């Protein structure tokens, strides 16, 4: 729906933000520039973001846990002599579970609600980590990894929705980009804990068990937080409860999320949100066929396309070469793979922090276009190094850092940000489920296909292929992806789809 089609004077703010002065929008339309308590705005982000911390921690810890588990003297088990297939089951068990979690969330997510889905994810995180840490046999460990992975799938589905629907529109980009920041923090912590425990007897058990307290804090925090007011109102207008009771519940949730800053304006803001939900057609119950029509089809193309390009531009594979590139460039720390991982993790952290600071100032499109352009340059530099410049390892080291930095400024945080805010509310649960499923499936595909393609084509040609795909992703961003900076979720639906 184009903005010019909106009625004169129609207010499409409806974010649930707190009332304040008004500023002009388009064609006489105004939106509210709302006030809010920063602390109360951060809390609904903080506890859902812990799922990213736990997920990132698992990635980092698993890299070291497999080394500990395969040690004859330090593993503490008789089944330490694992085959490559068994190691693959351990490392990919959580990914397989995450795919199942995404499928479960497709229909269950909107029924459970964002809050209860995150509480369920925290329970699965805790149970899965506990089973993995205490596993007496290999099959039990795989079961634990699978349950943990289902928690990942549910959490990666629900957390972006909850954050997008409760965050003030002025800082929604920063808060959602911080989710990627938390994932990277988790990876760094996982590498650090793994490095500290890799020489400890039975250290892998402690590595996996260390995620349990984080999961419990996440679950307790989500139990304390209210449900998303938008989800409650969606159920109200779709006839899934008493309208008056659900409106009162939404008002209470909004007051808890905003505190005293909301004053007496909560009922009016809830009415405003309801009006806007009716206006954009959210009162119509969704059908599967509608997922691939109209606004939702466009949102699917944007969201699934971004997370697909996020993976098939080589992100899982480029880091595979990190240790050898740094070692060939003369960095002594590269002799130890865990130290290289920590070094790259810290660099990723810094660049993600930079993206968080500027995403709501510069917008999504400029960061995506600039960051992916840098990725294109770095991928062609890496390809040239392996084909023509093997006597200039500094080129490869610079290209690697350029790639990592540009990825963390663009696809890393903004891919997740965009799929969190681009889907219409009544399709948001299903749309995000498809987006997360595409992300995990593409990650698994690239990780699986990398070694065979490297053997077939060689590293240089393979990086050129990734570079060509990155060029295609630039065109996709330029022609397809809209700018959503500063818009409320209802305005995104009305103007960008």
The pLDDT, as a whole number, for residue 20 is 35
DSSP string, 95-118: HHHHHHHHHHHHHHHHHH-HHHHH
- pTM of the full predicted structure? 0.77
Q: What are phi and psi of 300, to 5 degrees?
A: -65, -45
> 416: exposed, middle or buried (C-beta count within 10 Å: 0-12, 13-18, 19+)?
buried
CATH 1.20.1250.20 residue ranges of the chain are 37-237+239-281, 286-497
The pLDDT, as a whole number, for residue 11 is 39
Topology of the domain comprising 286-497: Growth Hormone; Chain: A; (1.20.1250)
Q: How many helices (H) and strands (E) does the chain have?
A: 20, 2
3-class DSSP string for 240-302: CCCHHHHHHHHHHHHHHHHHHHHCCCHHHHHHHHHHHHHHCCCCCCCCCHHHHCHHHHHHHHH
Nearest to 352 by CA among 231, 179, 224: 179
Say how far apart CA 492 and CA 497 lie, in whole Å. 7
Specify the CATH number of the domain 37-237+239-281.
1.20.1250.20
Each residue's pLDDT, cut to its tens digit, for the chain (497 residues) gives: 333 333 333 333 333 333 333 333 333 333 433 445 666 667 777 888 888 899 989 988 887 888 888 888 988 899 988 887 788 788 878 888 888 988 888 877 778 888 999 999 999 999 999 999 999 999 999 999 999 999 999 998 888 888 888 877 777 787 777 788 888 899 889 888 988 898 899 999 999 999 999 999 999 999 988 998 888 888 888 778 888 888 888 888 888 877 666 667 778 888 877 877 776 655 555 566 777 777 888 999 999 999 999 999 988 777 666 666 666 666 554 445 556 767 788 898 899 889 888 888 888 999 999 999 999 999 999 999 989 887 778 888 889 899 999 999 999 889 888 988 888 877 787 888 888 889 888 887 887 777 788 888 888 999 999 999 999 999 999 999 999 888 877 788 878 77
Say how far apart CA 477 and CA 418 lie, in whole Å. 12
Measure the N-to-C terminal CA separation of the chain; round to a whole number of Å. Answer: 6
CA angle centred on 16, ends 14 and 19, rounded to 5°: 90
Say how far apart CA 111 and CA 302 lie, in whole Å. 25
The pLDDT, as a whole number, for residue 288 is 66
Say how far apart CA 410 and CA 363 lie, in whole Å. 11
The pLDDT, as a whole number, for residue 433 is 84
């Amino acid at each position: 729906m184009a903005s010019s089609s909106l009625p004169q004077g129609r207010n499409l703010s409806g974010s649930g933000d707190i009332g304040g002065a008004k500023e002009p929008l388009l064609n006489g339309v105004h939106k509210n520039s709302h006030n809010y308590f920063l602390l109360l705005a951060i809390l609904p982000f903080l506890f859902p973001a812990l799922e990213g911390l736990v997920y990132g921690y698992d990635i980092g810890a698993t890299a070291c846990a497999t080394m500990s588990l395969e040690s004859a003297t330090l593993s503490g088990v008789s089944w330490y002599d694992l085959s490559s297939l068994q190691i693959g089951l351990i490392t990919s068990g959580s990914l397989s579970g995450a795919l199942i979690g995404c499928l479960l969330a497709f229909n269950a997510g909107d029924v459970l609600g964002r809050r209860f889905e995150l509480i369920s994810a925290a329970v699965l995180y805790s149970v899965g980590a506990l089973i993995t840490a205490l596993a007496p046999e290999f099959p039990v460990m795989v079961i634990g990894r699978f349950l943990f992975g289902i928690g990942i799938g549910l959490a990666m589905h629900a957390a972006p929705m909850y954050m997008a629907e409760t965050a003030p529109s002025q800082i929604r980009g920063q808060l959602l980009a911080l989710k990627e920041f938390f994932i990277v923090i988790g990876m760094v912590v996982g590498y650090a804990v793994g490095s500290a425990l890799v020489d400890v007897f039975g250290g892998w058990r402690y590595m996996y068990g260390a995620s349990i307290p984080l999961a419990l804090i996440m679950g307790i925090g989500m139990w304390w937080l209210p449900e998303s007011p938008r989800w409650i109102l969606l159920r109200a207008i779709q006839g899934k409860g008493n309208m008056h009771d659900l409106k009162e519940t939404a008002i209470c949730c909004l007051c808890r999320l905003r505190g005293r800053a909301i004053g007496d304006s909560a009922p009016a803001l809830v009415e405003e949100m309801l009006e806007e939900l009716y206006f954009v057609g959210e009162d119509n119950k969704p059908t599967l066929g509608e997922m691939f029509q109209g606004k939702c089809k466009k949102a699917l193309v944007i969201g699934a396309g971004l997370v697909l390009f996020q993976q098939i531009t080589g992100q899982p594979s480029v880091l595979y070469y990190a240790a050898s590139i740094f070692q060939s460039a003369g960095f002594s720390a590269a002799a130890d793979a865990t130290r290289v991982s920590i070094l790259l993790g810290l660099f990723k952290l810094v660049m993600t922090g930079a993206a968080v600071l500027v995403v709501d100032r510069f917008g999504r499109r400029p960061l995506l276009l600039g960051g992916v352009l840098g990725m294109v340059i770095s991928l062609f530099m890496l390809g040239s190094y392996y084909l023509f410049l093997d006597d200039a390892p500094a080129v490869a080291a610079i290209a690697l850092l350029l790639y990592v930095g540009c990825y963390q400024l663009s696809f890393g945080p903004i891919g997740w940000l965009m799929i969190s805010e681009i889907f219409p509310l009544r399709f948001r649960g299903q749309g995000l489920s498809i987006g997360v499923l595409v992300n995990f499936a593409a990650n698994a595909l690239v990780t699986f296909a990398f070694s065979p393609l490297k053997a077939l084509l060689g590293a240089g040609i393979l990086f050129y292929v990734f570079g060509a795909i990155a060029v295609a992703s630039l065109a996709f961003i330029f022609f397809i992806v809209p700018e959503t900076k500063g818009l409320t979720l209802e305005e995104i639906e009305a103007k960008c789809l």
